[in-house]
Structure 1
Amino acid sequence: MTDSPEQEPQLEIRVGDSRITLLGTAHVSKVSADKVEELLSTGDYDAVAVELCPSRYNAILDPDALARMDLFNVIKQGKASMVAANLALGAYQQRLADQFDIEPGAEQRIAIKHAQEHHSPVLLIDREIGVTLKRVLHSVPWWRRFGLFAGLLASVISKDEVSEEEIESLKKGDLLESTFSEFAEERQDLFLPLIDERDRYMAARLVQEVSAHSHENVLAVIGAGHMKGIARYLSDSTDKPEEVISELDHLPTPKRWPRLIPWLIAALVFLGFGLGFARSPELGWQLVMEWVLINGTLSALGALIAAGHPLTVTTAFIAAPITSLNPTIGAGMVTAAVEIYLHKPRVGDFGELRHDTTSLKGWWRNRVSRTLLVFLFSTLGSAIGTYLAGFRIVERLVG
């Protein structure tokens, strides 16, 4: 292993008969992009590895794919929160890039373009971002998850400019880690899935590729925060790469008991209604009315905050008290469907999504991101309303 005296951090590691050059980059640095161009122009490399997963790679090759996204299916399949988080991460990167007039991930794009022009293989070595984010959520307690999303959104819409020196300091860390660590009180639970697991994953993918295809000289374009970890796993690990990849691609099995909570709450609410009517019809109807008013009002307030159509807000008020008693469907799914019907996203909304989500106003102006906000806020309002109304029912029964 040797250090390069060049400005960008660089390491060379032998893996069997192959030489892997790790080039550390900052994903929004023109210096990094220029260095990739310089190294590839030498013609010394027969393969290029990039810190991309298949979905991010396809997004680069087909930037219009987002415009073909079926927004309702995204919500129906329970992926709305994941898409919103992806948008927030992309917007954070875009905000940094806009300050320095460089395309996000320019060094990755240059590597891909050069490889295509010279008919060299492009090795996608990073783990799917959806898997990473799901493992991040699994690693933190459930009560901190809303804080993670709120903090991520706050970092996206911040108006504070970042100096070029701070951009270059991203070489000491990782873009994802830097985004989350701005508001995370403790970083260890985030470090493992965001950095260490991906170090292992990318090292295993490199070993897998050079073993299967006998690449003699590979340039790996990675975030510099991953360099030490990848180098360590390349040098020390004796695990079979397929086993490591399978382990780190595994999605944690959700615990069963959280799935039972909505059903338990629904059962307790119905029990409360039954006890109320058993005491007196008047009390029973009062409990039902309070359930509707509290649950419906808070869900409608969420849709209103998200700037949903007036009919969407009305739908939230009507749907939330009903869907809260039927865990198979959420209020957000109903309100999002209505919002999509009334404010159907235009092609331009998808095209401007990355730029619009870099500002607070943009999240509400763009019909795609606004629909996601309608889903999230009306769902959150209904969830809060369910607990508040439930406690109110108990208070009325025992009072």
Structure 2
Amino acid sequence: MSAVAPTTAEPDALREQPLERVIRDHVEYVVLGTAHVSPASVAAVKAIIEHEAFDAIAVELCPSRAQSMRDPEAFRQMDLYQVIRQGKTGLVAASLVLSSFQKRLADQYGVQPGAEMLAAMDGAAAQQRPLWLVDRTVSTTLRRAWRSVSWWQRMGLAGGLVGSIFDRSEVAEQDIEQLKQRDLLEGAFSEFASNSEPLYRSLIAERDSYMTARLREEAGQLAPRADGTPRKVLVVIGAGHLPGLVKQLQTQTGAPAQLCQQLDQTPAPARWPKWLALGLVLAIFATIGYAFYRNPSLGTHALEQWILLTGGLAAAGAIVAGAHPLSILAAFVAAPLKPFRPGIPSGAISAMVEAALRRPRVGDFDTLRDDIGHWKGWWTNRVARVLLNFFLVCFGTIAGEYIAGFHILRSVF
């Protein structure tokens, strides 16, 4: 394993671009670091593909992201019912926030997000070279990042994401160039990633290891040259990954397939929040039962408090989201019954009713990334309103449970 120098003079487009070369296992990896929104990076990718002959081209994409770049209209096929039923609402919302961040940069500088990755994919197709998609899926990365930090940090992340949606300030050109020094995900979470070692590890370091393992796995399928010279692979990645990936290429050991499998696993969530919530609900219902034992009218009053506060605040969340009257009713009915259907949040029930009554139109999907950048868009876009309804109803239900529990305990004891 060693670093090598190019054998010929590099084109002008490659000068001052982050570029490293590493030979490992009879394969020369030419690692080009890019900014995901940069005309210079697009030019650099095109220049190096034209300048050198490669046996394969690898990009910092997973299959789903590559498909969305190839076919932007595939987003229209998103099934909101399945998103809600499978518990992926938060992941979809986070992905939308990231795309909104990318789009803001693209609108300002006239380059589509990931244009350099598209250039690499087009180059592989034009030269009929294998294309390797080596990145971990965004959903896995976000899950591992979310699970890696404390509850308070999660609240800060959620607040930071919401704030970034409505930030309309322009991004300075020097900041665009600084994206070459960090990953796009780290750029979107910059304040938190720089101050949180677990978050940085999930967003950056783990993906360095994962992409290195994927490169080794794919390279193992390349037949050796008859003359013994190394095969050559172009690796196009965000420049924030370049130092870590180069180091991993030089030092990583272990079976690559096993490493990928380990890094693809989502850590089990902490159990104490569920046990705490369950204990609270059991204590509240035990108190209601005790109230009925002492005095039926006292028990009836406690039960009314539970229904009115949980159902009322959940319904209030739906009202704030501008939901249909039947969606509001669904929130009111579902919230008090939440303890009897664990794993199915009241927000999911209300959101599914909303999606059924006000089915998103094709135009809603087409304008979704634009609409969520303005606060009014969350109410006018039917897809965004379903997501907003989900989160506000869940928030209202949780608030109602704690407030109801406090009032019930105080009234009985």
Q: Give the TM bin, normalised by the shorter chain.
A: over 0.9
Q: 1:130 aligns with which of 112, 115, 139?
A: 139
Of 272-281 and 238-247, the range deviating more from structure 2: 238-247
Partner of residue 411, structure 2: 396
| Contact kept? 1:24, 1:224, Cα under 8 Å | yes
Q: 1:10 aligns with which of 19, 24, 32?
A: 19
| Contact kept? 2:27, 2:219, Cα under 8 Å | yes
Q: 2:388 aligns with which of 349, 373, 382?
A: 373
Partner of residue 331, structure 1: 346
Of 226-235 and 376-385, the range deviating more from structure 2: 376-385
Q: In 2 relative to 1, CA 333–107 (structure 1 residues): closer, same or farther, beyond 3 Å?
A: same
Partner of residue 261, structure 2: 246
**Cα offset for 1:61?**
2.5
Q: After superposition, give the CA deviation of every residue in 1:225-282 in whole Å (9 maximum; x if it has no partner).
A: 0000000010112222122212211211234444444443332222111111112122
Partner of residue 398, structure 2: 383
Does residue 305 of structure 2 align to residue 301 of structure 1?
no
Identity across matched positions, percent? 42
Does residue 325 of structure 2 align to residue 318 of structure 1?
no
Q: Output the TM-score relative to the length of structure 1.
A: 0.94
**Cα offset for 1:185?**
8.0
**Cα offset for 1:183?**
5.1
Q: In 2 relative to 1, CA 24–302 (structure 1 residues): closer, same or farther, beyond 3 Å?
A: same
Q: In 2 relative to 1, CA 156–183 (structure 1 residues): closer, same or farther, beyond 3 Å?
A: farther
Q: After superposition, give the CA deviation of every residue in 1:294-350 in whole Å (9 maximum; x if it has no partner).
A: 212221222222222233223322321122443242211111011112211011211
Partner of residue 73, structure 1: 82
Partner of residue 267, structure 1: 282
Q: In 2 relative to 1, CA 228–185 (structure 1 residues): closer, same or farther, beyond 3 Å?
A: closer
Partner of residue 173, structure 1: 182
Partners of 2:92 and 2:302 in 1: CA distance: 37
Does residue 250 of structure 2 align to residue 235 of structure 1?
yes
Matches within 5 A, 1:337-348: 337-348=352-363
Partners of 1:364 and 1:135 in 2: CA distance: 31
Does residue 201 of structure 2 align to residue 201 of structure 1?
no
Does residue 173 of structure 2 align to residue 164 of structure 1?
yes
Partner of residue 285, structure 1: 300
Partners of 2:345 and 2:246 in 1: CA distance: 46
Matches within 5 A, 1:48-127: 48-127=57-136
Q: Give SS of 1:196's match.
A: helix
Does residue 54 of structure 2 align to residue 45 of structure 1?
yes
Partner of residue 189, structure 1: 198
Q: CA RMSD in A?
A: 1.9
**Cα offset for 1:102?**
0.8
Q: How many residues align?
A: 398
Partners of 2:284 and 2:194 in 1: CA distance: 36
Q: Give SS of 2:199's match.
A: helix
| Contact kept? 1:303, 1:378, Cα under 8 Å | yes
Paired AA for residue 67 in structure 2: N
Partners of 2:271 and 2:200 in 1: CA distance: 26
Q: In 2 relative to 1, CA 185–249 (structure 1 residues): closer, same or farther, beyond 3 Å?
A: closer
| Contact kept? 2:314, 2:335, Cα under 8 Å | yes
Partners of 1:259 and 1:53 in 2: CA distance: 32
Of 280-289 and 72-81, the range deviating more from structure 2: 280-289
Q: Give SS of 1:212's match.
A: coil
Q: In 2 relative to 1, CA 184–43 (structure 1 residues): closer, same or farther, beyond 3 Å?
A: closer
Q: 2:232 aligns with which of 201, 212, 217?
A: 217
Partners of 1:185 and 1:233 in 2: CA distance: 21
Partners of 1:82 and 1:134 in 2: CA distance: 8
**Cα offset for 1:67?**
1.1
Q: In 2 relative to 1, CA 183–300 (structure 1 residues): closer, same or farther, beyond 3 Å?
A: farther
| Contact kept? 2:334, 2:346, Cα under 8 Å | yes
**Cα offset for 1:17?**
1.5
Partners of 1:361 and 1:252 in 2: CA distance: 36
Partner of residue 41, structure 2: 32
Of 268-277 and 139-148, the range deviating more from structure 2: 139-148
Q: Give SS of 1:123's match.
A: strand
Partners of 1:113 and 1:61 in 2: CA distance: 10
Q: In 2 relative to 1, CA 144–389 (structure 1 residues): closer, same or farther, beyond 3 Å?
A: farther
Paired AA for residue 155 in structure 1: S
